[in-house]
Structures are given as C-alpha cells and as structure tokens.
C-alpha cells in the first residue's frame, strides 16, 4: 500500500511557549526562551543557561496522583499529545482505537528520576527506592503512558536515536500509515534533561555554550561566534492521519508528509562525519522517497545546533545536495530560540516546519550577526520572512551518527 499521510494536529510544550499558538507566535517574533537555569544550582558547572519550560503544571493535563508516578519527560509528552488531539478535532470516543498508534521517543529519558533515586540508594539504602522508579525512568514510558491515557491500542513503540529521535518517530509513523498498519499515529519526541548530571555531562564534553552573561544570545547557529549548543526541554507531538479519513471527517490539514530519509555516519560517537557526506545522502534519500527534485524545496528547517562542526557540516551537505539551488533556499534554525531539545528537537521542528508551510512565514535564525567563512547560505537572519513555502525539509542529526530527514509539502 502507498497511502497519503497528512498532519492534522499539533501539540507543543517548549521553552518559548505552551501550545501551538504561543509557540508559533514566539518563533516568528524571534523570542529567545533561554535563561539562567532555575531548576537547580548550576554554579559548579561552567554552563549556567538552558531553555527551560516555564509555567508548566502537569496537573492541568494529568490526574495529580498519576502525575506523581511519571517523570517530567512523560509529563511533557502526555500534555503535548493532549494538545495535539484537541487541535486535531478527533473524537476518540467514536474511533476504532485499534487503528490508532503511538510512536513517541526520548533521547535520554528519566534522568532526573534516575539521579534522585541514586541519592536515595546511597543515603537511605535499596529498600527505600521508589517502586515507581523503573516505570518512571525508562524511555518507552512516554509512548506507554500516552497509549494508556488515551486508550490507543494500535502500534505502540518508541525510537531512541539521540537528537534524531523525534524525526525518526515521525518518519516511522509516516511509513506505518502508508503501508496500512495504522490509520492515525501520535508521533514525536520528548525530553526533560536539564539536571545536574546531564548538564554536567554535556559540559564536561565541552559541547555547551558558556555565554552565561547573555543567555538570550548564547545559541547562535551558523554565526561565526557560536561556541556550543544550549540545552532545552519540552515535547513536540504531531497527529498523522491517512488522507482519506482526514478528508471524510473534515479535518484541518496543516501539510502533507511526502518523504523520509535515514542513515548513519558510521564515524564517531559524538562528532559528525567530516564534510557532511552522510547528512547529504540522508537528505537525498528523503528527496528520492518523496519523488521530487531538489529545486522543488523552498525551505530547510536546519538541525543547526550552534556547534562549530555541526553547522559547517550541515551547510556543506546542503550545498552538495542542492548545488546551485542552495543559494535560493531559505535555511533557518529555531534552536537559536528554543535551545536544543535533544530527543524532542525533531518533534518541535516538524511542527515549526508545517506551520511555516501553512502560514507562508519563515521563522528566523536569531543571533546571526557574523558570517563564518564559506557558510554563506540564506539563514533568514534575525527577522521572520513572509514567503510562499510549498515544500520544506527538516533535518535532525544525533550522537552515534544517526541522521534523519523529513519532507513536508503544502496539501492540495
């Protein structure tokens, strides 16, 4: 089977807003969600900044008793799924839930729960470890809890591919619907890793920005003065639906998903392969899957982490795939505003991409001030741009050499 798949619901929990409207408004206004860390004392770490989700109360989405048995990464996922279902207009009471599946992953999982229970183990002994410790911590539980809370009895799975997680979850869900294994999929990523052990771990790798004095200017993808990524948290969930059923129920269609590519660098546990060769092959695989030519793409929502090697490699990969058309493309990174949401990045960036298509408005790369050598593409610097976008591509590249690309187009 080769069924068409469309996006009919969006749910976003992000450092720049909760819900589709607040998230999108912040993006096009160029607001940064990066501030000094408030969830713990970061003074012993050389990075004191992150993109924390503000004003989030899990009790607004989940029974308070149940919420106590979930890690924050699961809170975000369930809340984003609820927002996505509400946005889609799907009445679950009237649906065959055996045909609705879940594919929601996380890059790190319940690291805060893990850290807390280690403290209990060493200070109070193993008999004081919470009986909810394991189901709170394990990475599949975001998908599991979404399935349980909404009664979804179809495919129930998750992907863990570091920073490519959300994109892989959406891509795999696209293929499940295409081949008839599901009619509707809840897909995306979630992350809540702003904790001493995770921030300290990334800092020890020298992967994080140390521009602590100006948090809002620290994440600066493609800019000459970038010095590392800024951690973020949150969740991005989309509702994917087979086109025919979406039309029958009169759904609001944001965009159609038409292509998915994935491959591996097979090079290093953290560094991208030199020159971006495998990233280029990943984008080309997505174009081939979509059956389109490079010249048909108008916009790329870049992985754009604000790290020296990633931004250079991605730029080189874009030039390799798109040739002379690369200079005609708009390329922007919303990580300049949200920070890097790790396993959730692909989810919120897919949402940003389909809203770009729907609204004919391209979010900017903020903090872009100085060109870095041959990195000379159109990075949509600092100000959103009104432009017709018929076809857009979204990239995600993760530690371990995981590469994933999605292609969306305007539904007609």
For 14-54, write each residue's pLDDT tens digit: 999 999 999 999 999 999 999 999 999 999 999 999 999 99
Side-chain-side CA neighbours of 380 within 13 Å: the count stands at: 29
Measured CA to CA, the distance from residue 160 to residue 325 in angstroms comes to 33
> Model confidence at 85, in pLDDT bands (50, 70, 90)?
very high
Name 164's Cβ contacts closer than 8 Å, sequence gap at least 6.
Answer: 262, 346, 396, 397, 398, 402, 403, 404
For 131-151, write each residue's pLDDT tens digit: 999 999 999 999 999 999 999
Mean pLDDT over 71-78 rounds to 98
Fold match, 5-248 / 260-409: yes
For 206-258, write each residue's pLDDT tens digit: 999 999 999 999 999 999 999 999 999 999 999 999 999 999 999 999 999 99
Q: Does residue 402 have an active-site annotation?
A: no
Q: Does residue 303 have an active-site annotation?
A: yes
Whether the Cβ atoms of residue 200 and residue 218 lie closer than 8 Å to each other: no
Beta strands in 319-388 (DSSP E): 330-332, 361-362, 385-386
pLDDT value at residue 277: 95
Which residue in the list 47, 103, 158, 163 is annotated as catalytic? Answer: 163
Which residue in the list 103, 340, 391, 402 is annotated as catalytic? Answer: 340
For the chain, what is the mean pLDDT? Answer: 97
Mean pLDDT over 84-110 rounds to 97
pLDDT value at residue 31: 98
pLDDT value at residue 385: 98
For 281-310, write each residue's pLDDT tens digit: 999 999 999 999 999 999 999 999 999 999
**Angle ∠(168,170,176) on CA atoms, nearest 5:** 100
The two structure tokens encoding residue 20: 């589709």
Question: What is the DSSP secondary structure assignment for residue 267, as one 8-state letter?
Answer: S
Measured CA to CA, the distance from residue 403 to residue 108 in angstroms comes to 17
> Model confidence at 57, in pLDDT bands (50, 70, 90)?
very high
Measured CA to CA, the distance from residue 4 to residue 175 in angstroms comes to 10
Buried b (16+ CB within 10 A) or exposed e, 192-206: bbbbbebbbbbbeee
Q: Does residue 268 have an active-site annotation?
A: no
Mean pLDDT over 313-331 rounds to 98
**Angle ∠(258,262,264) on CA atoms, nearest 5:** 165
CATH code, residues 260-409: 3.40.47.10
**What single string gives the DSSP state of each residue in 20-71?**
HHHHHHHHHHT----EE--SS--TTSS--EEBPPPS--GGGTS-HHHHTTS-
pLDDT value at residue 254: 98
pLDDT value at residue 232: 98
Does residue 352 register a pLDDT over 90?
yes
Beta strands in 138-295 (DSSP E): 156-157, 184-191, 234-242, 255-264
- Which superfamily, per CATH, for 5-248? Thiolase/Chalcone synthase (3.40.47.10)
Which residue in the list 75, 303, 391, 402 is annotated as catalytic? Answer: 303
Name 107's Cβ contacts closer than 8 Å, sequence gap at least 6.
Answer: 160, 161, 162, 163, 165, 189, 191, 193, 342, 343, 344, 398
Longest Cα separation, the chain? 64
Domain boundary assignment for the chain? 5-248, 260-409
> Model confidence at 1, in pLDDT bands (50, 70, 90)?
low
């Amino acid at each position: 089977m080769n069924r068409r798949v469309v996006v009919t619901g969006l749910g976003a929990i992000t450092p720049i807003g909760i819900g589709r409207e607040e998230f999108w408004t912040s993006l096009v206004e160029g607001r940064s969600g990066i501030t000094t860390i408030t969830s713990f004392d970061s003074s012993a770490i050389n990075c004191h900044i992150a993109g924390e989700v503000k004003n989030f109360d899990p009790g607004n989405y989940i029974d308070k008793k149940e919420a106590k048995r979930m890690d924050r990464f699961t809170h975000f996922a369930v809340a984003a799924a609820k927002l996505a279902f509400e946005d889609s207009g799907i009445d679950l009471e009237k649906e065959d839930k055996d045909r609705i599946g879940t594919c929601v992953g996380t890059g790190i999982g319940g690291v805060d729960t893990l850290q807390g229970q280690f403290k209990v183990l060493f200070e109070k002994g193993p008999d004081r470890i919470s009986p909810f410790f394991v189901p709170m911590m394990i990475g599949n539980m975001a998908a599991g809890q979404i399935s349980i809370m909404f009664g979804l009895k179809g495919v129930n799975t998750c992907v863990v591919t570091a920073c490519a997680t959300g994109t892989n979850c959406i891509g795999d869900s696209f293929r499940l619907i295409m081949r008839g294994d599901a009619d509707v999929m809840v897909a995306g990523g979630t992350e809540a890793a702003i904790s001493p052990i995770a921030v300290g771990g990334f800092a020890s790798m020298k992967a994080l920005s140390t521009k602590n004095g100006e948090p809002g200017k620290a994440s600066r993808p493609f800019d000459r003065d970038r010095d590392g990524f800024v951690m973020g948290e949150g969740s991005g969930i989309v509702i994917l639906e087979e086109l025919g059923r979406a039309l029958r129920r009169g759904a609001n269609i944001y965009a159609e998903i038409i292509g998915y590519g994935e491959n591996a660098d097979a090079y290093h546990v953290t560094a991208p392969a030199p020159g971006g060769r495998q990233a280029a092959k990943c984008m080309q695989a997505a174009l081939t899957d979509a059956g389109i030519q490079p010249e048909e793409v108008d916009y790329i929502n870049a992985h754009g982490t604000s790290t020296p090697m990633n931004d250079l490699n991605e730029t080189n990969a874009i030039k390799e795939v798109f040739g002379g058309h690369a200079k005609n493309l708009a390329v922007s990174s919303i990580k300049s505003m949200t920070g890097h949401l790790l396993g959730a990045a692909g989810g919120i960036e897919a949402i940003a991409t389909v809203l770009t298509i729907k609204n004919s408005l391209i979010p900017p790369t903020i903090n872009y001030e100085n060109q870095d050598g041959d990195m000379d593409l159109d990075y949509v610097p600092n100000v959103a741009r009104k432009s017709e976008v018929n076809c857009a591509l979204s990239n995600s590249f993760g530690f371990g050499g995981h590469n994933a690309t999605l292609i969306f187009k305007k539904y007609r």
